[in-house]
Structure 1
Amino acid sequence: MTHGEPDTIEVQEHEPSGPAGTPVHNDQKVTWLELFFDLIFVVAFDQLAKRLGDSPQLENLGEFGLMFTAVWWAWAGNTMLAARYGNETRAYRWGTVAQLVSMGMLALTLRGDLKDTGMAFALAYGTNRVLQVVMHFALAREVPGGAPFAQQSSAPLALAAGVWLISAWLPGGSTLQILLWCAALLADMIIPVVIQARVGNAHSSLPHEGHLPERVGLLQIIALGAIVTEVVNGSRQQEMNLVTLAPALSAILLTVALWRLYFDQARTLPLLGAHVEGQVQRMQAWLYGHLPFTLSVVMLGVGLGHGLSGVDAKKDAVNQQFVAWPLASAFLTLCFLRWNSRRVARQRGMDRSLMAMWAGAFGAAAVGFIDLDTVQLHALVAVLTVGASLIVATDPATRRLGKLEEEVTEQLDEGEAPETIVQELADPSDEISANPPTNIETRSS
């Protein structure tokens, strides 16, 4: 990805090999078009952050959450299409270009009052969902073996798209319009779960185990970058001195620590579990778990940035809540993602990293009840996050999960399908194999 895009890319086809029916592993790189599409979300997150920062009342917080979820799901829909059917088909390329335009128009509507922009938002999002339906139909024809999942998805998605378009003609920001948006979005998110449950672990419907984590990771980088943007913008409102630089530095350290906490995880294990053992629910839990994490990170950026630009005690108290609770939510989501990966690896109980992240979550929540100024607040949450990241990075359990992920991925690369995720973890002479963790469950026959 960083060294130029290859001239040809193999489109993933899920062909069984081995007793478990694991598909032959084909590399699938993120394309320039996908990177361009993801960059639209830099603007979308920035607009949403400004919307929340301009009016941090409870009503606006609900609208922010709803619109953020819609934006995130538009990204997830495109990403899952690429991961399921390949990113080099004609249908995907042209459909993504069209979706890119619709998302650009959607980003224009994110900051305004829904009384003025509700119609435009609904039309732009409804158009995006219609494009999603068209891409499903087209990919069902282009990709061998992809028809069943795509065809079952098309009709319910078309219904949800229709609801979005109909809602455009209701009064902007009205209760009925927002209720229709909630219903359509909920249906949109439930449909893939229901259909995946029907087809099970049919490999024609499973996303690529390397491509999907890469796209998901790129979005988290964009969200973390939004914190830096908010911190820089907040610092520009103050004179450049030690008092303003100290909390800004703390915010940057916190951002780096969050990046380390996320990327230190064995992020591919839930997808490997779906491909090797059919643990589809773990894969879906992994994907959906990223919604609250990304939302929390963007909200955290608002709290940190506006805390730097705030000039009165009342605003500081509000900004403190936008630091404490989103950071607690981010820690809790990281706990869930690690727990999910440990379950794929048949590990029970708590490891050192889980305990550290739970402590970080409780510590961040406690910060919301303490009266702190900006310097104290940013320093305290930075210490919490950096401390947790150091514990996770040095935890032997983190190394074990990473080693397991590498072993299974290498076996798939070599065309050897392991029967279970924990099969042949490493060479017998390896330290991990010689001293296996006692909390790994044995697979029942």
Structure 2
Amino acid sequence: MVAVATQEYEDTPIEPDQDDGTPDIEADADPAPRSPHAVQRVTWAELFFDLVFVFAVTQVAHAVSVGDGWADLGRSLLLFVPFWWTWVGCTIVFNGLVVSATKRHVLLLAVAGAAFVMSIAVPDAYGDRGLLFGAAYCAARILLGYAMHVRGAFRARLNPYTVGLAAGPAWLLAGLAPEGARQWIWLALAVLELSVPIVLGHRLDYMRFDASHLPERFGLFVIIALGETLVGIGQGGTHEALDGVEGTALFVAFLLSCGLWWTYFQYGASATEHALRTARIPAVLVRSTFSYGHLAFVIGIILAAAGMSQAVADPKAHLEGLHAMLLGSGVSLYIATFCYTRIVMFGGASYTRVVGALLAIVVTVFSPGLPALTPLILLAALVIALNAFELYWVDSGRPLLVINIGQGAAGR
């Protein structure tokens, strides 16, 4: 929870309706930078682009749901890393830029096509479609590298985008490797790409970002992931006759999905926008709160979605092992990530969310052997209680319950 600025700023359109002959992508070193409070709206092309990633999240969540153990879980989540960096890279490329409509749409659709092919390859990515998956990701990286080159944003040749451009062909070549070796090569490449923003991210600290567009785009991806929870419980509810237990499971799962939405959008979304507006170096938040933090948000939702779909499909089943822990681990990761992002942004974590994450872990530990409906009810009650308490506390004007750790990127 955080108090956010309430001052209204004039909307400043930054995208031309037609190509006027100016450069398609302007460099960051514009001698007349826009106000940091200018508003860039999400375009129809970006929304269509996101539909491909709806399919991608569904494919990965299904792979998580049908996996047999921890190894399958790791392999499934590993495949999400290229999707994430493709989406993040495209979002950052188009943030705060003046781009001609025609070439913007062509580039977005081209990257979307590459991601669509990647999505199709997910079910057999470690089998016969490994080369297809790697080749599509390589194409997406080349397209994004080209866009950043035209933008003229490279002040240092070695930066996260150039490393990503080099990683693309490596993913492709790994698709030719034997199935057993392929997963380890891809794991090494994923670790490399995940670590690059930490090691080289400071080389992009000069970049400017639109403080309205970027939080909106990442919030939309959270919506994409939350949509998978609804798809999962909806499909689970259509496979069996609805008696009292099945109907209860559907209702509780829907309440939990609503609670997860509320947890992010009641306070979290506005907090990230406020932090981006006030941060001295916005790029610090882009690579920590947005790139890493939202990756954790989405993975938590994917795990929770897989767990919810299993619980709704057979709420009386006594799940064992990994399958029993998907739901609770996803909810606990999702809540705990708010603690991380708030520490990075404002230097402290909310007591309520620290406690909520710990209680979700307790539910996770005791989930194996219980009927699937039981942890579903407990976690839904936990998330709803967390949101209700925070709403009461903020609306009553009480001081925020925060564990202060240090100075965040946007101050306290």
TM-score, normalised relative to structure 1: 0.76
Q: Which moved more, 1:89-98 or 1:161-170?
A: 89-98
SS at 2:341 equivalent: helix
CA deviations 1:273-330 (Å, max 9, x no partner) are 33xx225423421111110110110110111111221377454664331111111111
Please point out which of 258, 268, 271 is paired with 2:273. 268
Q: Which runs of 5+ in 2 are unaligned?
A: 1-13, 20-24
The higher radius of gyration belongs to 1
Residue aligning to 2:323: 319
- Give the direction of change, closer, same or farther, for the CA distance of 1:156–1:278 in structure 2 (3 Å limit): same
Residue aligning to 1:242: 244
Q: Which runs of 5+ in 1 are unaligned?
A: 141-145, 401-431
SS at 1:148 equivalent: coil
Amino acid at match of 1:302: A
Residue aligning to 2:4: none
Distance 2:288 2:274 in 1: 12
Residue aligning to 2:345: 341
- Give the direction of change, closer, same or farther, for the CA distance of 1:398–1:245 in structure 2 (3 Å limit): same
Q: Is the 8 A contact 1:16 1:22 kept in 2?
A: no
Residue aligning to 1:368: 364
Please point out which of 383, 386, 396 is paired with 1:385. 383
Distance 2:221 2:396 in 1: 23
- Give the direction of change, closer, same or farther, for the CA distance of 1:303–1:86 in structure 2 (3 Å limit): farther
Residue aligning to 2:10: none
Q: Is the 8 A contact 1:316 1:374 kept in 2?
A: no
Distance 1:24 1:206 in 2: 8
SS at 2:124 equivalent: coil
- Is residue 174 from structure 1 mapped to residue 206 from structure 2 by the alignment? no
Amino acid at match of 2:50: D
Amino acid at match of 1:294: V
Distance 1:125 1:102 in 2: 7
- Is residue 160 from structure 1 mapped to residue 154 from structure 2 by the alignment? no
Amino acid at match of 1:120: L
Please point out which of 115, 130, 135 is paired with 1:118. 130
CA deviations 1:148-186 (Å, max 9, x no partner) are 368855543332122122212212x322x2233233333
- Give the direction of change, closer, same or farther, for the CA distance of 1:313–1:247 in structure 2 (3 Å limit): closer
Distance 1:305 1:48 in 2: 14
Compute the RMSD of aligned alpha carbons: 3.4
Amino acid at match of 1:31: T
SS at 1:135 equivalent: helix
Count of paired positions: 383
Q: Is the 8 A contact 2:197 2:287 kept in 1?
A: no
Amino acid at match of 2:202: A
Distance 1:209 1:14 in 2: 18
Amino acid at match of 1:165: L
SS at 1:325 equivalent: helix
Distance 2:15 2:30 in 1: 23
Instruction: Give the alignment of 1:86-101 within 5 angstroms.
Output: 86=98, 88=100, 91-101=103-113
- Is residue 73 from structure 1 mapped to residue 73 from structure 2 by the alignment? no
Please point out which of 35, 50, 53 is paired with 2:47. 35
Q: Is the 8 A contact 1:273 1:283 kept in 2?
A: no
TM-score, normalised relative to structure 2: 0.82
Distance 1:88 1:387 in 2: 47
CA deviations 1:83-142 (Å, max 9, x no partner) are 1535546554322111111111111011226122222211111121122222222222xx
- Give the direction of change, closer, same or farther, for the CA distance of 1:258–1:30 in structure 2 (3 Å limit): same
SS at 2:365 equivalent: coil
Q: Is the 8 A contact 1:303 1:322 kept in 2?
A: yes
Instruction: Give the alignment of 1:197-212 within 5 angstroms.
Output: 197-200=202-205, 202=206, 205-212=207-214
Distance 1:155 1:373 in 2: 49
Distance 2:191 2:44 in 1: 31
1:6 to partner: Cα distance: 8.5
Q: Which moved more, 1:360-369 or 1:82-91?
A: 82-91
CA deviations 1:209-228 (Å, max 9, x no partner) are 11111010001011011001
- Is residue 285 from structure 1 mapped to residue 288 from structure 2 by the alignment? yes
- Give the direction of change, closer, same or farther, for the CA distance of 1:111–1:222 in structure 2 (3 Å limit): same
Residue aligning to 1:8: 17
Identity percentage over the alignment?
23
Amino acid at match of 2:360: A
Q: Is the 8 A contact 1:91 1:139 kept in 2?
A: no
Instruction: Give the alignment of 1:396-407 within 5 angstroms.
Output: 396=394
Q: Which moved more, 1:131-140 or 1:25-34?
A: 131-140
CA deviations 1:416-437 (Å, max 9, x no partner) are xxxxxxxxxxxxxxxx9xx9x9
Amino acid at match of 1:303: G
- Give the direction of change, closer, same or farther, for the CA distance of 1:261–1:91 in structure 2 (3 Å limit): same
Distance 1:70 1:291 in 2: 11
1:231 to partner: Cα distance: 0.5
1:378 to partner: Cα distance: 1.6
SS at 1:29 equivalent: coil
Residue aligning to 2:254: 252
